[in-house]
């Protein structure tokens, strides 16, 4: 039996987003309940992230787990030095005070950027390695991780999600456990290989529900299964909203021999490169999307994805371009979630259900955006925690504070007092909306919505409304990318300087 320390510290940093990510953001309730410490990390058998999968497998194998903390903040701007040092300091201090350990498992994202560290996870791993020595250190990663040499140096192995939407998070934790156990049993390090793709992959082109990523991950699993000397193979499309030198897609391979790791990494890299032309931006305007919605005659709903206002990629979730277009087009039956607007939610609660009130909806957080002033009817009010049941969040309890369903003509909007992306139907249901009963469903999400909403829809339309998550990397003002990196599939190359 081994004694294994476990900790989680996750953030996806959009360096182009306004504002900073603070310690309070990591401790906010929202979808994940703030900072979870000690035995509470083991208390939820349905915990749907990688830590939950690791814990289940490690406990079944009879190992002793020492849980330190787990935390997540909604994607946003740079993590402050205060937040980074306080959380990492607590993890490192606990490792020092409570060691020795036989191994360490870390649940990381892979795309955290702090005000002090372009590659924050490399710094996390460096400090952990400095206090635990040569024992196995293994971490799981979101497939949006931007992986640099520091992470490769300080981790014995890293394994990433294989689905986007991320419905295999627990399975990834289980894969991480198998790597830890293999390292403990063999007593030998694994050979490592990393390959970097020479182009950025726009987020909305990364879904494993669609091509080409669906086929890429099928090929990945076939390669991994085909070589007994290969311990793990990961493809990370990367998070292309971070102006850092290691931004971009990578392939990671670990094997019993360097030859096995190199061969697998080379083969998968060639497969991804062969699909380069598919990774280019292509989006509808809000006006065009509203027109499509107005003329839609399918049997199920049409799904409009407001992908550039995705809180899951650092968006403010408060822009109103799509809402204004739907209202202007007089779309008769549309539901929209989630508009982060604590001020409007509070005014709706003050007015009461069934009342008309004039609100300045959204438009408060992105420079250049303005609120949508309009009269609404308050249809339904809600407050406090509620269970989520979708494929990604099932088993978690959300708390977005004061929420409201307000109606503008035929357009119903879900207001919240906490920021998160719409990847679960229960965000609608909490304020009295059953999504499948409506002709037009609008979600502020880039891809995670597909897990719970795609079965409701005959058509999905991705929209380029103004927001903090520009899905075309060619529009962003880069300064730190490696010279020659193409900004999307077959796109222009960054010149550097």
152-165, pLDDT tens digit by residue? 999 999 999 999 99
Q: Is the pLDDT score of 38 beyond 80?
A: yes
Cβ pair 317, 344 in contact under 8 A:
no
Q: In what order do the strands lie in the sheet with 137-141?
A: 36-37, 64-72, 3-10, 103-108, 137-141, 157-160
Spatial distance between the Cα atoms of 356 and 359, rounded to a whole number of angstroms: 10
Computed from CA positions of residues 261, 262, 263, 268, in that sequence, does the dihedral angle turn out positive or negative?
positive
Where does residue 349 fall: left (phi above 0), alpha (psi -120 to 50 degrees), or beta otherwise? Answer: alpha
Give the mean pLDDT of 19-45. 90
Counting Cα atoms < 13 Å in the Cβ hemisphere of 45 gives 2
Q: Is the pLDDT of residue 347 over 80?
A: yes
User: How confident is residue 30, by pLDDT bands cut at 50, 70 and 90?
Assistant: confident
Q: What is the spatial distance between Cα 31 and Cα 387, in angstroms, rounded to a whole number?
A: 10
340 neighbors 30 (Cβ within 8 angstroms): no
Among 156, 206, 146, smallest CA distance to 180 is for: 156
Identify the pLDDT of residue 32.
74
- Phi, psi dihedrals of residue 279, rounded to the nearest 5°: -95, 60
Q: Which two tokens stand for residue 71?
A: 């935390």
Q: Of all residues in the chain, what percent carry a pLDDT higher than 90? A: 96
Task: Supply the mean pLDDT for the chain.
Answer: 96
Q: What pLDDT, on a 0 to 100 scale, did the predictor assign at position 341?
A: 98
* Six-digit token string for 25: 């953001």
Per-residue pLDDT tens digits for 90-145:
999 999 999 999 999 999 999 999 999 999 999 999 999 999 999 999 999 999 99
Cis peptide before 100 (omega within 30 of 0): yes
pLDDT at residue 72 is higher than 90: yes
pLDDT at 497: 46
Lowest mean pLDDT among 141-150, 195-204, 246-255, 392-401: 392-401
Q: State how beta strands 103-108 and 64-72 pair.
A: unpaired
Q: Whole-angstrom Cα distance, residue 230 to residue 217?
A: 16
Q: Is a pLDDT exceeding 90 seen at residue 404?
A: yes
Which token pair is 119? 């590659």
Lowest average pLDDT, out of 10-24, 25-39, 175-189, goes to: 25-39
CA end-to-end distance (rounded Å), the chain:
53
- Reading the block at residue 192, the tokens are 């490592």
Q: pLDDT tier at 46 (50, 70, 90 boundaries)? A: confident
Strand-pair partners of 304: 442, 461
Collapsing DSSP to helix, strand or coil, 58 comes out as helix
- Answer whether residue 287 shows pLDDT above 60: yes
CA distance 267 to 294: 46
Give the model's confidence band at 344: pLDDT under 50 very low, under 70 low, under 90 confident, else very high.
very high
Query: Where residue 496 falls among pLDDT bands split at 50, 70, 90?
Result: low
Predicted local confidence at residue 317, as pLDDT:
97
């Amino acid at each position: 039996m081994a004694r294994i320390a476990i900790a989680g510290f996750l953030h996806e940093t959009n360096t182009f987003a306004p504002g900073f990510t603070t310690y309070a953001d990591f401790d906010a309730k929202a979808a994940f309940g703030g900072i979870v410490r000690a035995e509470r990390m083991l208390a939820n058998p349905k915990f749907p992230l990688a830590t939950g999968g690791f814990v289940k497998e490690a406990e079944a194998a009879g190992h002793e787990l020492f849980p330190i903390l787990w935390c997540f903040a909604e994607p946003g701007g740079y993590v402050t030095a205060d937040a980074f040092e306080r959380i990492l300091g607590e993890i490192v201090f606990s490792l020092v005070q409570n060691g020795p350990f036989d191994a360490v498992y870390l649940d990381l994202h892979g795309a955290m950027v702090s005000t002090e560290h372009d590659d924050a996870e490399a710094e996390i791993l460096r400090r952990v390695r400095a206090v635990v020595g040569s024992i196995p250190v293994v971490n799981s990663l979101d497939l949006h991780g931007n992986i640099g040499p520091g992470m490769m140096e300080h981790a014995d192995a890293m394994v990433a999600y294989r689905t986007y939407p991320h419905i295999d998070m627990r399975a990834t934790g289980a894969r991480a456990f198998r790597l830890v156990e293999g390292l403990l049993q063999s007593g030998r390090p694994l050979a490592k290989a990393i390959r970097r793709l020479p182009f950025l992959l726009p987020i909305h082109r990364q879904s494993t529900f669609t091509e080409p990523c669906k086929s890429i991950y099928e090929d990945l699993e076939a390669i991994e299964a085909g070589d007994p000397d290969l311990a793990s193979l990961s493809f990370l499309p990367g998070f292309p909203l971070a102006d850092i030198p290691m931004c971009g897609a990578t392939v990671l391979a670990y094997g019993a021999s360097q030859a096995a790791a190199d061969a697998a990494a080379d083969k998968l890299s060639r497969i991804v490169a062969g699909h380069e032309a598919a990774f280019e931006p292509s989006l509808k305007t809000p006006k065009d999307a509203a027109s499509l919605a107005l003329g839609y005659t399918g049997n199920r709903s049409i799904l409009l994805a407001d992908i550039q206002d995705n809180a899951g990629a650092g968006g403010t979730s408060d822009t109103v371009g799509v809402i204004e277009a739907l209202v202007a087009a007089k779309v008769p039956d549309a539901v929209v979630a989630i508009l982060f607007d604590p001020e409007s939610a509070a005014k709706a609660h003050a007015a009461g259900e069934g009342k008309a009130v004039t609100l300045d909806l959204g438009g408060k957080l992105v420079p250049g955006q303005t609120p949508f002033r309009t009269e609404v009817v308050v249809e339904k009010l809600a407050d406090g925690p509620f269970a989520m049941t979708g494929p990604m969040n099932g088993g978690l309890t959300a708390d977005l504070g004061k929420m409201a369903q307000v109606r503008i003509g035929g357009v119903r909007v879900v207001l919240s007092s906490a920021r998160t992306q719409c990847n679960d139907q229960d965000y609608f249901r909490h304020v009295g909306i059953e999504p499948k009963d409506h002709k037009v469903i609008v979600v502020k999400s880039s891809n995670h919505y597909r897990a719970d909403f795609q079965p409701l829809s005959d058509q999905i339309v991705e929209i380029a409304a103004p927001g903090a998550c520009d899905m075309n990397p060619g529009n962003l003002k880069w300064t730190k990318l490696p010279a020659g990196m193409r900004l999307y599939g077959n796109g222009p190359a960054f010149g550097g300087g």
